[in-house]
Amino acid sequence: MMPKLRRLRTASPFQVILITLFTALALFMSLPIVFIFNHAFKPQNELFLFPPRFFVRHPTLHNFETLFLHASNATVPFTRYLFNSLIVVSLTLVSVVVVSTMAAYVLAKYQFHFKQLIMSLITLSLMFAPETVSIPRYLVINGIGLNNTYLGHILPSLASPVAVFMLVGFISQIPSDLMEAARIDGAGHVGIFVRMILPLSVPAIATISILTFQGVWGDVETSTLFMQKETMRTLAFYVNSLLSGLQNNVAGQNMAAAPGCYFHPESDHFPALSAQSA
pLDDT in tens, 165-223: 999 999 999 888 888 888 888 888 888 888 888 899 999 999 999 999 988 998 888 88
* Dist CA 190 CA 53 (whole Å): 56
pLDDT in tens, 47-105: 777 777 778 888 888 777 777 777 666 677 778 888 999 999 999 999 999 999 999 99
Domain ranges of the chain: 78-229
**CATH class of domain segment(s) 78-229:** mainly alpha
The whole model's pTM is what?
Answer: 0.70
User: What pLDDT does residue 245 have?
Assistant: 55
* Dist CA 271 CA 32 (whole Å): 9
pLDDT in tens, 23-56: 999 999 988 888 888 877 888 777 777 777 778 8
Question: Among the residues of 30-160, which ranges form H helices?
Answer: 31-40, 44-47, 62-72, 78-109, 115-125, 134-143, 150-158
Ramachandran category for residue 10: left, alpha or beta (phi over 0 → left; psi -120 to 50 → alpha): alpha
H or E element at residue 177 = helix 176-184
